[in-house]
Chain A
């Protein structure tokens, strides 16, 4: 290993991968891998070499711009080109047991040439996973869609869509796949995701998982919501629901998940299905007259787009009915009278007056709840938008709907602008 004594050691945790770790090339040691740091920046990592005497292993970790990251995954640029274009990178020094030893900051111009990745350091060609992606397209009515509202809406959609997707994946007892958000395209009303496995050897399973994932969306958006709202007692007998359950079981078995208790698997699948319908309602909270439509599609072979379903303003009454059905299912009970609560709003659509907030139960415990603000007064420059913009806890008066465990699921807030 080349000498590191001329390079600065750093305590920064930014070069460390803390989430979405995927090994793309491995021969026992992971030679090429990707992941995200604590700020959700993309990192590309490669193995440099091992020092058998010191019992240490060395890796490059490069924080990569989302656009270059997507280009790399699409095999449009090599890792060598990424390093040449980057100003700097980090060397992660680990002990043989993978515990961290040190982190060095290194300008890329100082990497000895013999350690530079070669010209053909392109991302491995993965036929199945990389050719397919999931698309969320916002279709605003007004072409001049307020930038702040658009940014808030996109962030909210991304957060809830990832939560929904992880929940769908978890119904297959599968912990080895994750969703990656690709760099925004020039049409920035689009969110594009790829489903990727944690290990290179699992890429063959990606097609099956992708199919299940897409079928799940297709069913929920086209039938599931309606079926549950109108026939919740018989939904388990629905042919398409049963097909989804079978797919989930097959994937679980293939991942060597022990299906000893099939009844328990079916119960958990159903419970998560209900939870996922609820997630879809939360996603639909952004729909209003200015944003009347969100399309959810699948892109195959990197170009053909197939519509799976949509969330539209016309379906608002259906979502309201679904919400009432879910409340009945969860046996929610409401405060008899408005109570005072302290909340921190992290999402709010000022047109629909719906959003999400953390509700302060104690200093350590602030669970999430869906909120709805009554009244017709404008919400601009009120304490509600202040809470959202400045991350401030505010005191409000409202009625909470709680489940049997007293967890607050919904909060209907009386409008007031007192501090």
Chain B
């Protein structure tokens, strides 16, 4: 199963403590428009950023991951965090996509940050497809 992860080996450090999301898990991610596009789930690695090249400071694990939040009872907190991000870039990603994903299609790794323990890094599997994401809601945060 783990062999299917996009551009990662099964022994990769990035996947330490990775888990499959449950089908019932609701994930959140900021997106640009009120509908999901391929670009919303593109990693920085897929955009050809590489560690140490052209001043890129991030490492491989960070470049291959997609930032998401796992929603439980923390919905307001996550919305506030996204709004705070938006305050610096008001024209970028003004919508929140709440979605579910098949456990065969991705792995998630908890990557808590200050005041945001629900932050996860999502690593796409080979079978990941934007059309298979189950969108629950799209919220306008403008």
Query: Whole-angstrom distance from the CB of A116 to the nearest CB of chain B?
Result: 7
CB of B43 within 8 A of CB of A28, answer: yes
Report how many A-B pairs have Cβ atoms within 8 Å: 90
The residues of B that contact A47 with a CB separation of less than 8 Å are: 88-89, 92
Chain B CB within 8 A of A235 CB: no
The residues of A that contact B93 with a CB separation of less than 8 Å are: 27
Q: Which of A195-203, A356-364, A368-376, A389-397 contacts B (4 or more CB under 8 A)?
A: A195-203
Q: Cα distance A17–B84 when bound, in Å? A: 24
The residues of B that contact A200 with a CB separation of less than 8 Å are: 113-114
Query: Whole-angstrom distance from the CB of A140 to the nearest CB of chain B?
Result: 40
CB of A115 within 8 A of CB of B67, answer: no
CB of B67 within 8 A of CB of A27, answer: yes
Q: Cα distance A52–B39 when bound, in Å? A: 8
Per the 8 Å Cβ criterion, residues 7-36 of B in contact with A are 13, 30
Size band of the interface chain A makes with B: 35 or more
Chain A CB within 8 A of B130 CB: no
Q: Which of B45-53, B99-107, B131-139 contacts A (4 or more CB under 8 A)?
A: B45-53
Query: Whole-angstrom distance from the CB of A335 to the nearest CB of chain B?
Result: 43
CB of B91 within 8 A of CB of A115, answer: yes
CB of B47 within 8 A of CB of A115, answer: no
Q: Cα distance A116–B57 when bound, in Å? A: 26
**Which residue of A97, A121, A128 contacts B88 across the interface (Cβ within 8 Å)?**
A121
Chain B CB within 8 A of A79 CB: yes
CB of A28 within 8 A of CB of B66, answer: yes
CB of B91 within 8 A of CB of A97, answer: no
Chain B CB within 8 A of A261 CB: no
Size band of the interface chain B makes with A: 20 to 34
Chain B CB within 8 A of A351 CB: no
Chain B CB within 8 A of A323 CB: no
CB of B30 within 8 A of CB of A27, answer: yes
Chain B CB within 8 A of A208 CB: no
CB of B90 within 8 A of CB of A46, answer: no
Query: Whole-angstrom distance from the CB of A94 to the nearest CB of chain B?
Result: 8
CB of B84 within 8 A of CB of A120, answer: yes
Which residues from chain B sit less than 8 Å from chain A, CB to CB?
A: 13, 30, 39, 43-44, 47-50, 53-58, 65-67, 84-93, 111, 113-115
In the complex, besides A49-B92, A52-B39, A201-B111, 14 extra interface pairs with C-beta distance below 8 angstroms are A21-B57, A26-B67, A28-B65, A31-B85, A31-B92, A46-B88, A47-B89, A48-B92, A79-B88, A97-B47, A97-B53, A98-B55, A121-B87, A201-B113
